[in-house]
Copies of this chain bind each other. A is one copy, B any other.
């Protein structure tokens, strides 16, 4: 059955259940001109919006409809994590071709609801329209952070250490696997990193509580995010390439495909891990955490990122993230 058969209100009826995962903050969910929610006293409000277009941001070859919704939620929740915040409320706008299968779009919403459930995000409203173009989805997410404590990209201080969570480059490795048609189970961790990336909400809050000075999520590649922090903070950042955490599974995929996994880590996006800076005095705290790695330090400078390679050479690391318009 296609969405043109159910009509707008039939479609809304099909997706509007199982949308509230923390009712304590919701006054009125789906079904009026606006949704209504309560903000916590003493907290700043965070807002982020992300748009995904079929054929540009995902393809049916590498992404199931469930994962389309899951990744869209992950991208937004990750932006809240990157401020050290708590994700709270989401609205979703969807433009669909009239011949979209209802089963496809309800699966997209199932994926979105699944990640919303995991992070206690309420889906409280939206808009549905038709388009003559590809399926297009916009999620807007509201989060909260204790007043004045949001982690900006402009807070890095000379002397800070640079940290990264978990592993990076795994999502790019997973995409390469999928495009190459490799289904080997031993690489499952990379495939999952691409298909169902986990936003680092808990670590983002933990880093804020520990006293991190800046934070970004890695949506466009490490090189791009580091350059954003360096530029916004008006400092230089020195990175030790041998310290960049790349999962052994991604290294194996890279060997099999004959590429350098460091390229994936530096320029592959959508890992949704966090990169940021902390006072060097916290190095011993970080050293105890398996999921956080020190990869460099902040020095004075005009906003450059310098990479030191395994053989001791240094060169400027350009921001080669994805430019949507080029």
Contact = CB atoms under 8 A, between A and B. Distances in A.
B131 A48 contact: no
A111 to B, nearest CB: 19
A49 B91 contact: yes
A64 to B, nearest CB: 21
A82 interface: yes
A312 B130 CA distance: 40
Interface string A130-169: 1111101010101101011010111000000000000000
A27 interface: yes
A196 B67 CA distance: 39
Nearest to A51: B93
Contacts of A34: 46-48, 79-80, 82-83, 85, 143, 150
A132 B83 contact: no
Nearest to A322: B8
Task: Quickly give the copy total for this chain.
Answer: 2
Bin chain A's interface residue count: 35 or more
Contacts of A9: 323
B33 A93 contact: no
Interface stretch (A121-129, A170-178, A243-251, A303-311): A121-129
Nearest to A134: B133
A33 B131 contact: no
Contacts of A288: none
16 contacts: A4-B325, A32-B153, A33-B82, A34-B48, A34-B80, A36-B145, A39-B45, A45-B45, A49-B125, A49-B138, A51-B94, A52-B129, A56-B129, A129-B324, A130-B325, A132-B134
